[in-house]
Copies of this chain bind each other. A is one copy, B any other.
Amino acid sequence: MREGPDIARIASLVGDPARANMLTALMGGTALTASELALEAGVSLPTASSHLSKLMEGGLLTLASQGRHRYYGLAGPQVAGMIEAITGVAAAVGPQRVRPGPRDAAMRVARVCYDHLAGEQAVAMLDRLVARQVLLRDDKEIRLGPSAASHFAAIGIDVASKARRPVCRACLDWSVRRSHLAGTLGAAILDKILLEKWARREKDSRAVIFSPMGRQAFERMFLG
């Protein structure tokens, strides 16, 4: 009964625990089926289906049907950004969660944030790239340094801006409370990490686990 966009409608979609768990799961970047999301949210299939249709109707999800599988994914970076913003507030406002647990510890070290790497590793990487002046940062803004093109070309990443999306963007890390690298460059680096099998995705989690070899390679490449 007031102005502007219907913010309560969107927020209440995220405000249900089952739906919040689904959205959080989808922050991993890969689309999931209804059954997987039901498991993830800890509800029955019918319940999950009902939630999913609400999220669809609200425009927060996209649906890709492949045979008898229906893959649900986040509707876009804007939605992902909103989830991260809410996560940030939730983390800042109340460490009233007890039991950090081993799952959370791994998440703090390295995890996927929609399409790029987040966590302590990612924050350290950005710090190092800035210290070496591959990237330049003024406060929270990041841009490419003079040596960036050749530096990333050497490891097979083309830094020439192609998409409408910014090449590098700062993304506030909810666990460390400092920025890590997002944007197409952040996404490309995560691709590289997984392609080279330096790390693997933990099943049913956003956590990213580096192998000992992979960690060395990553550190040589980005933290050296």
Taking the complex as formed, is A156 at the interface, i.e. its CB lies under 8 A from any CB of chain B? no
Max chain B Cβ within 10 angstroms of own Cβ: one of A8, A16, A79: A8
CB distance A88 to B97 under 8 Å? Answer: no
Residues in B neighbouring A168, C-beta threshold 8 A:
139, 141
Determine how close the nearest CB of chain B comes to the CB of A66; give it in whole angstroms: 25
Residues in B neighbouring A5, C-beta threshold 8 A:
87, 90-91, 94, 97, 174
Taking the complex as formed, is A142 at the interface, i.e. its CB lies under 8 A from any CB of chain B? yes
Beyond A15-B14, A140-B166, whether A90 also contacts B7 by CB under 8 A is yes
Beyond A14-B15, A78-B89, A93-B58, whether A4 also contacts B107 by CB under 8 A is yes
Beyond A16-B12, A42-B1, whether A7 also contacts B141 by CB under 8 A is no
CB distance B89 to A6 under 8 Å? Answer: no
Residues in B neighbouring A15, C-beta threshold 8 A:
8, 11-15
Beyond A12-B15, A16-B8, A107-B3, whether A89 also contacts B97 by CB under 8 A is no
Q: Can you list, as one digit per residue, whether each of A1-30 has a CB less than 8 Å from chain B (1) or not (0)?
A: 111111111111111110111011000000
Residues in B neighbouring A6, C-beta threshold 8 A:
90, 94, 96-97
Number of interface residues of A (CB under 8 A): 64
20 more CB-based (< 8 A) A-B contacts, given A6-B96, A13-B15, A138-B141: A1-B17, A3-B103, A3-B107, A4-B174, A5-B174, A7-B86, A8-B15, A8-B16, A8-B17, A8-B20, A11-B15, A11-B86, A12-B14, A59-B94, A60-B93, A79-B89, A81-B85, A82-B82, A139-B183, A141-B168
